[in-house]
Structure 1
Amino acid sequence: MSGNINEVSAGPEGSPQPQQPHDADAQPPAPAVPQQAAQPYQAQSPYARQPVVPGQPNPYGRLVPGYYPQPAAPSGKATAALVCGILAILFSASLLPGIILGIVAIVLASKAVKESGKNGKTTGGKVCGIVGIVFSVLAFLMYLIIGFGAIMYAASNADSISSSYLDTPRSSAPMTSEGDQKAEPAVQAELDKLKNKDTAVVQALAEKLDKGFKDSSNYSLTELGVDPASFAQWMLADFTYQLDGVYTYDDGTGSAYADVTVRDPYALATAFMEEAQAFVDSPEASTLDEAAMKIKLGELYQAAMNKSTAMTDNYVSFDLVQKDGAWAVDQDSWASEVDYLFGIY
């Protein structure tokens, strides 16, 4: 065949294959690279479901099998914040405690929110804390207003009283009423009986002292060998008084007041108890019979009288009555004051 006609050669299966024109400068063909089998296409959807691990947070925001939502751990600070907030309101009138409790409630509520999230207790604690602080501030302002008003009121009244007093002539100053002047001698006379050791008063006082001693110690002064009259005279030694006021009323009654200085009966009782206790603790006490014991106690009481010379100041008040136009001291009221002065019960 002519070289201008393409030659046909047989292929692997015996079918004719076209032959390319021969070119001396052409490069031999590159060996064929075997192609890998194509992988099937898998689309990656942005909505493809991710695997859920039981017990872990659900990324889809809904319940799925095997998933259990885990609640936040409760915080004790939330409860403490609520309690402090309530107390802040209750103690708001005390100012400082209310403010302190309110601040603590707010701080605890903020910490509880950071730890376990917001809930009713944290919100309530914070709100109550703020309310408690506000109430405390309002109470403080109210106290300031009331105090300032009271000071201004007192100052204005003091000025008016001073002015009226200065404008009033001395001759018109209030004087003691006529009834008070008439009752004052009766009061002084009753007190002078004690001061001057009136015989009847001393005898009545001696009987009271003797009976009172027996009621408190099971033995009378007479049984111990102590003369009650001498003891009454000893109690009235250095007795003095200063009249503090006599007041009478239209209904025929009145009151009298006086400062009195008298022997201290409690100092005497203390001195005697010390002497008696020392004797009871001594071996001698177990060797004496009752009669000898009484004599010994009488000697100890006399020693206590010599040892105790303390005086005491007292304030007495007693009633007055008007009889047939004359004022007199009510004896029942006066007797109670005498018992008080000399420690008779």
Structure 2
Amino acid sequence: MDMGEGAGRVGGDVDGHGWAATRAWVEKGLLESEHIDDVMRLRGGWTSEMRRLDISRPGGRRSVVLRSFVKPFFVQHADGLLSREARILRQLDATDVPAATLIDVDAAAEYCDYPSLLMSLLPGTVRLADQESERRVDLLARQLLRIHGVQVTAGTRPRTYQAWTGPERVSPPGATERPELWQRAVDVIRREPPDYLPCFLHRDFHPGNVLFEGTGGDLRISGVVDWVETSWGPADLDVAHCSTALALLHDVSAGMAFADRYTAAGGALAQEQAAHLYWRLLDALAFAPDAEKVAVPWRELGRPDLTPAVLTNRLEDYIQALFDRYA
């Protein structure tokens, strides 16, 4: 999501959804001398509404971010998702991962109009342009390795990962000219998951969930957002997810190179080609048939070239490239 430039002012309401009760909940946690001065919608979210709240106080102002689930599916699952994100944000406070600081959470909408989480505002913006993408991808690989290194105990270990698709749930593009490619890919994920060494996973790590500051040699990652899916599982799965996203966002070669960048940074992935192919396809097939889940927010953030047709072709080419390299 865009945490900076281009956010749209929304005033007292957001896209017709309730705000009064949520505002009262936020204001209850403010100091007596503070008040909400402005509300800005942050662009680029898919699962939730994101708002930046500018709070006036003596001597200046501060800003916080409010995440609210308003779509019926996510409202239904919000208690688990937002409660998990709140736990993870508390846990990451003691690490060098640049995550937001939790302020408050109302995961069951006891006080808010919709299930909501309030957190600190991270600096930086989402960068999705092809320009400087090579440098950004290197930084993504190193950042992901640091996330995988987060240490947990039996009490702080997140839930075991959940697959986002399965053989019976894959929907190939209706107009595909390569039905045999899709069938071959589905057959790969029919097998039992390979053995793996588990680690701490972001589980939705991709360029749309990473904030950057600076340019050129000063380019750096300033924040990683969206921790509702954090899990315990194979590093391959996080690498696979970012790889698919890079293939769709930039080109197939960017998606194919990310695993190499991750291992060059010191990361360890499945040694067997078949195991690596399984994790890569398990993620890629979850984007079928047309990757509109990422296309909508990406287009909103300045990539109108990412049409359904472009993304469908890139997804098919990426799946073919995975077979060419790992099968």
Structure showing the higher strand proportion among its residues: 2
- Structure with the greater relative contact order (CA < 8 A, sep ≥ 6): 1 or 2? 2
Instruction: Please confirm whether the aligned pair reaches a TM-score higher than 0.5, indicating the same fold.
Output: no
Q: Which structure has the larger Rg over C-alpha atoms?
A: 1
TM-score by length of 2: 0.18
